[in-house]
């Protein structure tokens, strides 16, 4: 059952969402070639708790971390480790926060140093597909309109592959609420979108084929062909005439511009 939020609830979700964006900006400031995920995870947890909130992921479904850091061929749900980041890595970093009882959720893919042209295009296409999906998050549309916009741009126009096994979702007092928001589908299908529905839209796009599997850590989802994957995510409120993005990439990208080890793609 979809839970339509009141204006007051949307504002509470906005506060949680902006804290998530600020957390990812703090992470962006500290990403370094030679750094590692464990250090970033500790920093993010401390940042969230210092702002009076709780990490959304840690402890949920047994998740051991505040950040999920998926490197290169890892699609999502990568666990932070002590392995050093290297030149050319792409890091999808996903996190959430609970503030005043409401969740925010966002993810951003960071490029370390020089990356090849095909990876750059994959990052650019995934980033743009997120906003094409968001454009369809308006009252009276259906979830399939979001899904089709993402799939058409990524698969038909750019020949990349949308992951099927993992989807976006509603959120509010729970991190995962109805509806599911796939990154593939047909126009005019799926649940009808209503004003003040809050959803996380999160394209997960593979360079090669769409197949994935779960690694031996029982968390990290990896592409079957071991080619790179990219993930971006915003928390979004469905609007009457246009969607409203409750998270923000602006503080993240401001920090990227000041970090010599991270390349600004978008």
DSSP reduced 3-state for 50: helix
| Among 101, 112, 92, CA closest to 35 | 112
pLDDT reported for residue 150: 98
| 101 domain residue, yes or no | yes
Query: Distances from the Cα of 19 to the Cαs of 16, 45, 103, 126, 169, in angstroms?
Result: 5, 12, 10, 23, 19
Q: What is the pLDDT of residue 264?
A: 87
Domain count, the chain: 1
- Mean pLDDT value of segment 81-95: 97
Q: Residue 219 maps to which CATH number? A: 3.90.230.10
Which pairing describes strands 229-231 and 204-206: parallel, antiparallel, or unpaired?
Answer: antiparallel
Instruction: Tell me whether residue 35 is in a domain.
Output: yes
Dist CA 242 CA 239 (whole Å)? 5
Q: pLDDT class for 266, splitting at 50, 70, 90?
A: confident
Across all residues in the chain, what is the average pLDDT? 97
For 146-174, the pLDDT digits (tens) are: 999 999 999 999 999 999 999 999 999 99
Rounded mean pLDDT of 85-102? 97
The predicted model gives 204-227 an average pLDDT of: 97
Note whether residue 1 is domain-resident.
no
The predicted-structure confidence for 30-75, as pLDDT tens digits, reads as follows 999 999 999 999 999 999 999 999 999 999 999 999 999 999 999 9
Instruction: Residue 194: count other Cβ atoms within 10 Å of its Cβ.
Output: 14
Question: What residues are paired with 231 via a beta bridge?
Answer: 204
- For the question of whether the overall pTM of this predicted structure is more than 0.95, the answer is yes
Range(s) of the domain holding residue 247: 7-263
Query: Cβ(16)–Cβ(99) under 8 Å?
Result: yes
Q: Residue range 230-251: average pLDDT?
A: 98
> Alpha-carbon distance 130 to 94, whole Å?
15
CB 159 within 8 A of CB 125: no
Determine contact, residues 126/264, Cβ cutoff 8 Å.
no
Check residue 265 and give its pLDDT: 85
């Amino acid at each position: 059952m979809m839970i339509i939020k009141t204006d007051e609830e949307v504002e509470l979700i906005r506060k949680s969402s902006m804290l998530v964006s600020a957390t990812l900006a703090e992470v962006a400031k500290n990403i370094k070639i030679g750094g590692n995920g464990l250090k970033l995870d500790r920093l993010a947890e401390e940042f969230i708790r210092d702002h009076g909130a709780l990490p959304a992921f840690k402890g949920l479904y047994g998740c051991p971390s505040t950040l999920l850091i998926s490197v290169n061929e890892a699609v999502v749900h990568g666990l932070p480790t002590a392995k050093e980041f290297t030149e050319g890595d792409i890091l999808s970093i996903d996190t959430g926060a609970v503030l005043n009882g409401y969740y925010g959720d966002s993810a951003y893919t960071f490029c370390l140093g020089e990356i090849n042209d095909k990876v750059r295009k994959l990052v650019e296409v995934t980033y743009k597909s997120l906003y094409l999906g968001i454009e369809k998050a308006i009252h009276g549309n259906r979830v399939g309109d979001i899904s089709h916009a993402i799939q058409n741009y990524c698969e038909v126009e750019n020949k990349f592959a949308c992951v099927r096994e993992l989807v976006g979702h509603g959120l509010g007092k729970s991190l995962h609420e109805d509806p599911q928001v796939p990154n593939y589908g047909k126009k005019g299908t799926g649940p009808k979108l209503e004003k003040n529905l809050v959803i996380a839209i999160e394209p997960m796009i593979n360079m090669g084929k769409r197949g994935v599997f779960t690694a031996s850590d029982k968390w990290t989802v990896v592409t079957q062909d071991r080619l790179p994957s990219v993930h971006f995510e915003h928390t979004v409120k469905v609007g009457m005439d246009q969607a409203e993005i409750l998270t923000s990439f602006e503080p993240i990208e401001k920090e990227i511009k000041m970090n010599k080890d991270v390349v600004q793609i978008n």
